[in-house]
Amino acid sequence: MSPKRSGLLAVAATVLAMVVAPQAALADAAGGGGDYVQLNSVTDVLDTRDGTGGVTGQRGEASTTTVPVLGVGGVPTTGVGSVMVRASILSATEPTFLTVWPDGTTRPNVTAVSVKAGEDLVVFTAVKVGANGKISVYNAAGKAHVVIEVHGYYKSAQGSNGGGFVPVTHTRTIDTRNGLGTTTGTIAAGASRTVTLTGGLIPAGATAAYVNLAVPSASAKGWFTYSPVGGSSRPVMNYVAGTTQAAAVVQLPADGRVTFTNRGAAAVHFMLNVEGYFTNSATTGSGFRSAYGRLINTRTVGAGLPMAANSTIDVQVGGTHGLPTRGIAGALLTVIATSEAAGYLKAWPVGEAEPSLTMMDHGDSWRANSIVLKPGTDGKIRVRNGSADTIHLIVDLQGWFAEPLPTVPVVPNTRTTVLQAAPVAGALAGTLEYAYTDNSGRVVYGHQQQVDNFSSVQWTVVSGNEAFSGQPTLAQLSDGRIQVTAQHRSGDVWSLTQTAAGAVTWNPWVNLGGSMAAAPTAVKLADGTLAQFAVDVDGKLWVYQQKGTVPFWRNLGDQNLVGGLSVVAVRDGVRVFGLDGAGAVKSVLFYNDGSLSPWTDLGGAGSSGTPAVVVRPGYQLQVFVRGAAGSIVTKLQDAGGTWPGGWTEVGTPAVAPAGAPAAVLDPGVGRVAVMFRGTDNEIYRVWETEIGANTWGTWGTFIEGLSDPSATDPSVLPYYNGTSDTWVLTFRSPNGTPRWVDRQT
């Protein structure tokens, strides 16, 4: 049975005159540059003790202080993405914490440094500069003096100066208790100790080191300064009675020798752990990317249960807050322990051996420290509670260092995605929505208000100056807004969402991270939230569920998958189908509660392209794929859900398929129709001979006697046109013109 031609095929001139409406460039969430430039002297931008920065006196509870940084001291007026600051909180009247973030943006739910009443503590952290050249500092409780010093900055774009970050395994290189890297014995009040930091983990020529400093078992509070031998002195850490750890970026002279001076009133021991270093070349190492967000808070996760004594917990870093799942040289993290007993924390990459080093000792209160740590397997770190009591753990992301990743090439002639939106109040049928990526990497969005008029589609380029690859996805959020998701050429998955249901305006692109090998496939889950499924270069299947306080990419298993995926809704969740590197079809059920079934291997060695899946009544699934011999083959579950052992050919087409098939359960006649693009670029189709027969008629061109070449594989959508259920097939011609064939019942 041949379908009728749509009106569009008779008005090709209208389609050829398609107008793509211009749109302003949308936000670039990925950033660029990120090389570090160390200042030769400290730039004080805020000191509430003496009025530096225009603010005098202790800052009050829930106060925000705005601080200009661009053009102040040694900080340039342009070309600065983030500044490396030393943030101090002094003479606090109550337990409190500081948050530091780019001015003009919403304050993130992260902590930079925390103190008890009367403590003086500091943190080194990177802060993105606001569009107005300022940063903001928030004091949570009580009153406290605040000091902000800029020690260096990260460039906003590539250039000839600055250097990239290189991580190392966290290693202690200085310890005055046993003479490691220095002489044995405490450093007296006012005394100094000169050490050499290069020559081992840190190569000669490095411009700065990322370190964690520690003063163990101090009898009173104090502070340390450091100076590169031959350079100026600058503050580096404050310590309190007991043990204090603090991250720091230390400038390195040519010979790598640095002098540390104890400015406290009593002799103390001193330790230094190396976490990484900055090179002296803008073409080596990794660039910094600003990102803020809470990764975990055991007070709120699940039932809010604390970490048990001597237990570990895995924290997802990669794939959160726009980070990729790979290519992270190091994540800048603040780790916070809240406890009623003394103890310690360790942190290390998942998949590596537990280190002997601790990253923070803590007492019976809140304590925070910053680290730069390279995530391990699946982008995770592992944290141990080395306490004899329970603790609550908070881990906050302050930024990350990006390793070079290959740019994703634009895949030519990818399919068009089509979706029918839910009808608005008073409408008989929902609008039809389209999206495709053209051969230049533009994402083109189409909106068809008149469901029965395919020449009425309004097209808009929504990618701005960004470039994407692969077939985009379309989904409708629970509030009626349409969301487009596509693979950015960086490899990450980006999403674009309407400002309101039915609006012609869009919010900025949002980077969901992921760093996948192929474009994602989106599906709406039973709870109404969206999930993106995608495959990485190692063949792992990942899912990104757009719900919860910290959505993230989760690894669902390594099946050596390649290419695109098909995802269909079933009774208990959604089932995912894909091909592995040998051409076998693999499938897994993602249950509504987020759990996973065992993987199923359907075989089919040598198959290629994305599988097509039809859901028959009773949730019996039928899979169609291009076989190794150039035919279309299929497998149909039985009523119990069991797959047959062998594949069955879907007839014998006169022309071999050139791409992946599409399939649909024809709502008008109740039979399955299958179609493909042949090696002659014509679209071919076949129907079942009878309802539920799984036997096939004769293949033929879609419109008998009419040549209408296609450059893309076909896409098909069952939809309601206001009077009956039908379906439409769409493809694009060799010159990129969208084409439709409407199966009118």
User: Of 158, 177, 210, which residue is a domain's last?
Assistant: 158
Q: What is the pTM of this model?
A: 0.90
Tokens, residue 175:
């310890």
Weakest mean pLDDT among 21-35, 227-241, 476-490, 701-715: 21-35
As a whole number of angstroms, the distance between CA 555 and CA 561 comes to 13
pLDDT at 30: 32
C-alpha torsion sign, points 103, 104, 105, 107: positive
How far CA 7 is from CA of 10, 15, 19, 454, 459, in Å, comes to 5, 11, 19, 7, 18
Sequence-ordered list of residues with C-beta below 8 angstroms from that of 648, at least 6 positions apart, any chain: 633, 634, 635, 694
User: Of 278, 297, 324, which residue is a domain's last?
Assistant: 278
Give the CATH number, domain containing residue 53.
2.60.120
As a whole number of angstroms, the distance between CA 557 and CA 560 comes to 9
As a whole number of angstroms, the distance between CA 31 and CA 504 comes to 26
Question: What DSSP assignment string belongs to 121-158?
Answer: EEEEEEEEPPTTSEEEEEE-SS-BEEEEEEEEEEESS-
Task: Answer whether residue 38 is part of any domain.
Answer: yes
pLDDT at 744: 65
Judgement on whether residues 213 and 105 belong to the same structural domain of the protein: no
Neighbours of 342 (CB within 10 A): 15
User: Of 278, 295, 314, which residue is a domain's last?
Assistant: 278
| Contact present, 163 and 282 (Cβ < 8 Å) | yes
Task: Answer whether residue 328 is part of any domain.
Answer: no
Judgement on whether residues 46 and 128 belong to the same structural domain of the protein: yes
Weakest mean pLDDT among 298-302, 340-344, 512-516, 726-730: 298-302
179 Rama class: left (phi>0) / alpha (psi -120 to 50) / beta: left
- Average pLDDT value for residue range 483-501: 96
Neighbours of 699 (CB within 10 A): 21
| Contact present, 335 and 343 (Cβ < 8 Å) | no
Task: Answer whether residue 331 is part of any domain.
Answer: no
Judgement on whether residues 62 and 139 belong to the same structural domain of the protein: yes
Judgement on whether residues 522 and 614 belong to the same structural domain of the protein: yes
Q: What are phi and psi of 14, to 5 degrees?
A: -65, -45
Task: Answer whether residue 285 is part of any domain.
Answer: no
How many C-alpha atoms does 81 have within 13 Å on its Cβ side?
Answer: 23
Judgement on whether residues 39 and 15 belong to the same structural domain of the protein: no
| Chain Cα centroid distance, residue 454 | 37
Sequence-ordered list of residues with C-beta below 8 angstroms from that of 499, at least 6 positions apart, any chain: 481, 505, 506, 507
Judgement on whether residues 169 and 152 belong to the same structural domain of the protein: no
pLDDT at 17: 28
- Among residues 615, 520, 608, the alpha carbon closest in space to that of 568 is found at 615
**Which residue range(s) make up the domain with 126?**
31-158
As a whole number of angstroms, the distance between CA 417 and CA 726 comes to 17
pLDDT at 20: 28
- Going through 308-365 in order, the beta strands assigned E by DSSP cover 312-316, 328-339, 343-349, 360-362
Question: Tens of pLDDT along 264-302?
Answer: 999 999 999 999 999 998 888 999 999 999 999 998 876
Give the CATH number, domain containing residue 267.
2.60.120.260
Judged against a pLDDT cut of 80, whether residue 525 lies above it is answered with yes
- Average pLDDT value for residue range 620-645: 94
How far CA 343 is from CA of 243, 295, 388, in Å, comes to 11, 22, 7
Question: What DSSP assignment string belongs to 60-77?
Answer: -TTEEEEEE-TTSTT--S
Judgement on whether residues 127 and 207 belong to the same structural domain of the protein: no
Question: Tens of pLDDT along 559-615?
Answer: 999 989 999 999 999 999 999 999 999 999 999 999 999 999 999 878 889 999 999
- Mean pLDDT, the chain, integer: 92
Judgement on whether residues 484 and 615 belong to the same structural domain of the protein: yes
Judgement on whether residues 150 and 218 belong to the same structural domain of the protein: no
Judgement on whether residues 116 and 221 belong to the same structural domain of the protein: no
Judged against a pLDDT cut of 60, whether residue 127 lies above it is answered with yes
Task: Tell me the percentage of the chain whose pLDDT exceeds 70.
Answer: 95
pLDDT at 586: 97
How many structural domains are present in the chain? 3
Judgement on whether residues 435 and 574 belong to the same structural domain of the protein: yes
Q: Residue 316 carries which side chain, given as an amino acid letter?
A: Q
As a whole number of angstroms, the distance between CA 737 and CA 431 comes to 21
Task: Answer whether residue 1 is part of any domain.
Answer: no
As a whole number of angstroms, the distance between CA 105 and CA 27 comes to 14
Task: Please report which residue ranges of 144-277 form alpha helices under DSSP H.
Answer: none
Tokens, residue 461:
């380029």
Task: Answer whether residue 205 is part of any domain.
Answer: yes
Give the CATH number, domain containing residue 653.
2.130.10.150
Task: Answer whether residue 479 is part of any domain.
Answer: yes
Judgement on whether residues 448 and 591 belong to the same structural domain of the protein: yes
Task: Answer whether residue 169 is part of any domain.
Answer: yes
- Average pLDDT value for residue range 356-383: 92
pLDDT at 13: 28
- Among residues 555, 554, 613, the alpha carbon closest in space to that of 579 is found at 613
Question: Tens of pLDDT along 59-114?
Answer: 999 999 999 999 999 999 999 999 999 999 999 999 999 999 999 999 999 999 99
